[in-house]
Amino acid sequence: MSKLLHAAQLAGATALLTVCAGQAAAAPLQNKESVAMPAATDTDAHQWLEDVGGDKQLAWVRERNAKSEGELASTPEFKKLEAEILSILDSDAKIPGVYKQGEWFYNFWQDKANPRGIWRRTTLAEYRKASPKWETVLDIDALNKAENENWVWHGAQCLRPAYTRCLIALSRGGADADVTREFDISTREWVKDGYFRPEAKGGVSWIDQDNVFVYTDFGDGTMTTSGYPRVAKLWKRGTPLSAAEVVYEGKPTDMYIAAVHDDTPGFERDFVNNTIAFYNDELYLRGKDGKLTKVDVPNSVEKGVHRQWLSLQPREDWTVGGKTYKGGSYLVANFDDWMAGKRDLTVLFEPTERTSLAGATWTKSHVVLNVLEDVKNKLSVLTPGKDGWKRSEFVGAPAIGTIGVGAVDTDESDALWMTVSGYTTPTTLSLAEIGKKPEVLKTMPTFFDASNQIVEQHFATSKDGTKVPYFIVHKKDLKLDGQNPTLLYGYGGFEISLTPGYSGGIGKGWLEKGGVYVVANIRGGGEYGPRWHRAALKQNRHKAYEDFAAVAQDLIARKITSPKRLGIQGGSNGGLLTGNMLTQYPELFGAVVVQVPLLDMKRYNHLLAGASWMAEYGNPDKPEEWAFIQKFSPYHLFDPAKTYPPTLFTTSTRDDRVHPGHARKMMAKMEAAGKDVLYYENIEGGHGGAANNAQRAHMTALAYTFLWNELNK
């Protein structure tokens, strides 16, 4: 249930792009004490580029795409790298992740023969084999051919207990907006006169075979200012969508409204979730009579329901029932008792300065806690009993590697999927029963030679003295002469943690060629829990950028690299990060890649989903908030008189989350000033930038080729 609520809360939100660490020797980087700010103005010579699909605008895009292709994609080296990355993405030897529905294990798969993908299933007995036999349920490429469409898979929700009727979401070109169609697995056909939700941001959720919750665009005034559903309704089979009954209606300034049904046998309940902003939501229990009862906890507390349990994660210190609980803790209570007014809570996890909760996974009888300690995973098992909760170690969890766990079937077993990965160690997938040694089922192949690579963790000292961890992957025989081409990646937002993970693309496109790869765990992320995120919100956003600059300075001070050999890359909120590095710290870098970025922070909240991020960045329409926002708005910080490192902007025409106008306008401004800048806009792809593996390989090869060329001059 908590997963459904979390999905509803974050659907269409800026989870954004993420890619897959002794005391620093250098002093903290001293940022400029003051930044000269251009006067705010309503005139923007490049605002015409915000018309996403205009003929003039797309002609502008194609002209710059052609220039970038000519400079980067015409060489044999590029074509070789693109082919190598594509072969990795299309590899049949990748681990096919599965999820259980009834007796079947389902997977969505893309490869060379199935560029848009197939939804397929197998049995556990088959899945244990090196080459399982799969049964195709739905072929998206065949569907596109039959319907003359460009559908991209957005997932399926199937109705228990038979799991034959499914609500399938399909997006045109990879945009967040999608349609929902009802599909019958038993016949492999779309249900005639079945549920159909027209294209919009939103979703549909099963209640039973003849009733669903739907939250979508119902017409004028039914979407929030963030562009997401403002109204949730109950829709009965055989009636038009217009006749659906309103369940909950939020305010226009809310972010996202959703309703879901918890179908756990014996614990069936209906919930409505009103996400007001990121990490600010209300949860309501919906009674049989349609009455809504709010789960009485602060909006900032993350809420989950599993069987009889209510789980709560306060983001700040919280006093309730005469006790104070530390922000970042994981608390549980009996759900019915809490709704009846009791305030008895049990602490299952409390953070320290070095630890945070990465996740809590419920099985039928246990909850498995995944704790980050200095960005390294540790698992433990909590089990409820007559005498309270008992803690034990998770048997078979490795001491090294990024660990992820997920329940196989929370209703029937205590089995878990466990993945283990690292920068140089291919991912393994195991089937783990609580208390037993995990059974390794799948191992990802080795896609690059890591025999001469090592991984380290270091800590840089930021401007205010904060120790900032970062991971570095490099050759064992690395020369500390400042001449190593180094790629520094970061994100720093929305409490998203960057942990080590295996990437064949990074290995083949960067490490195997002799490059150094670095990931910075800067503030704004979730590596140390809510406090690490809150430290870089709104007027404190500059701390994330100071952290990233401190890591860059530390790499230079250690003579791992030098400014002319140091490149950076980031996407979405990470694109805002690299945009600020470009404009505020140009002297530190030799090349900059800015992907699907936010850059114009004066207008971001008026473009697509931008209003949903004001809890993160602030509201530029308020003069007192624009006063600090303009200090991290790259579009306004750009100074045509300054020298900037070579820059590549990439985005997608079909990105309906972060408006492509951000990248377009920044490109136009830098181009007009005669700067060394390239631009590439993929016509499809949504916020991920690509709709299939071929597009992903091309975009990845463009970025790595650009960086390698610039850093090796």
What is this structure's pTM?
0.89
Query: Mean of the pLDDT values across residues 365-380?
Result: 97
413 labelled catalytic:
no
Does residue 426 carry a pLDDT above 50? Answer: yes
DSSP string, 395-443: TT--SSSEEEEEES-TTT--EEEEEEE-SSS--EEEEEETTS--EEEEE
Write the secondary structure of 625-682 as one string of H (helix), E (strand) and C (coil). Answer: HHHHHHHHCHHHHCCCCCCCCCEEEEEECCCCCCCCHHHHHHHHHHHHCCCCEEEEEE
Tens of pLDDT along 122-164? 999 999 999 999 999 999 999 999 999 999 999 999 999 999 9
Class of domain 20-25+62-86+452-711: alpha beta
The helix (run of H) or strand (run of E) holding residue 700 is helix 693-711
For the chain, what are the domain ranges?
20-25+62-86+452-711, 97-294, 298-351, 353-441
CB of 177 closer than 8 Å to CB of 183 = no
In whole angstroms, what is the distance from residue 65 CA to residue 700 CA?
15
Quick one: pLDDT at residue 161?
95
The answer for residues whose C-beta is within 8 angstroms of residue 467's C-beta and 6 or more apart is 23, 24, 459, 460, 461
Q: What 8-state DSSP symbol labels residue 612? A: G
Closest by Cα among 197, 195, 207, 191 to 170: 197
Residue-level pLDDT at 29: 28
Handedness of CA 567, 572, 577, 582 (dihedral sign): positive
DSSP letters, 136-186, are EEEEHHHHHHHHT--EEEEEEEE-TTT--EEEEEEEETT-S-EEEEEEETT
Count the helices and strands in the chain (H runs, E runs).
15, 39
The closest of 547, 595, 598, 605 to 569, measured between CA atoms, is 595
Question: What percent of the chain is predicted at pLDDT more than 70?
Answer: 93
pLDDT surpasses 90 at 411: no
For the residues 357-384, what does the mean pLDDT come to?
A: 97
Quick one: tokens of 541? 């956003």
Q: What pLDDT, on the 0 to 100 scale, is given for residue 656?
A: 87
28-42, 445-459, 552-566, 633-647: lowest mean pLDDT where? Answer: 28-42
d(CA 98, CA 96): 6
Comparing C-alpha atoms, which of 22, 18, 34, 28 is closest to residue 549? Answer: 28
For residue 250, give the 3-state DSSP assignment.
coil
Confidence of residue 40 (pLDDT cuts 50, 70, 90): very low
The pLDDT score that the predictor gives to residue 268 is 97
The answer on pLDDT for 25 being more than 80 is no
What Cα–Cα distance (Å) separates residue 333 from each residue in 325, 362, 685? 13, 14, 42
* Backbone conformation region of residue 620, classed left if phi is above 0, alpha if psi is from -120 to 50, else beta: alpha
What is the rounded average pLDDT of the residues 258-284?
A: 96
pLDDT band at 189 (very low <50, low <70, confident <90, very high): very high
| Percent of the chain clearing pLDDT 90 (strictly above) | 90
Average pLDDT over residues 88-100: 93
Q: Is pLDDT of 468 > 50?
A: yes
> How many Å separate Cα 293 from the centre of its chain?
31
Q: What is the pLDDT of residues 599-611, one digit of tens each?
A: 999 999 999 999 9
687 catalytically annotated: yes
Question: Which one of the listed residues 171, 205, 503, 572 is annotated catalytic?
Answer: 572
Selected catalytic residue, list 458, 636, 687, 698? 687
Residue with tokens 């994100």: 491
CATH superfamily of 97-294: Prolyl oligopeptidase, N-terminal domain (2.130.10.120)
Q: What is the mean pLDDT of the chain?
A: 92
Closest Cα to residue 419, out of 444, 436, 388, 454? 444
Q: Which of 305-319, 322-336, 576-590, 676-690 has the lowest mean pLDDT?
A: 676-690
**Residue in this structure with the two tokens 């492999």, named with its chain if needed:** 188
Query: 551 with 468: CB under 8 angstroms?
Result: yes
CA distances to 28, 377, 410 from 397, in Å: 37, 9, 20
Task: Extract the tokens encoding 504.
Answer: 């064949």
How far lies 384's CA from each of 293, 333, 362, 374, 530, in Å?
27, 11, 12, 28, 26
Confidence at 692, pLDDT banded by 50, 70, 90 = confident
Q: What is the pLDDT of residue 12?
A: 29
What is the pLDDT at residue 9? 30
- What distance in Å separates the CA atoms of residue 630 and residue 626, rounded to the nearest whole number? 6
| 97-294 shares the fold of 20-25+62-86+452-711 | no
Q: Are 29 and 550 in contact (CB under 8 A)?
A: yes
Distance of CA 345 to the CA centre of its chain: 31
Q: List the one residue out of 150, 165, 170 whose CA is nearest residue 108.
A: 170
CA–CA separation, 365 vs 385, rounded Å? 10
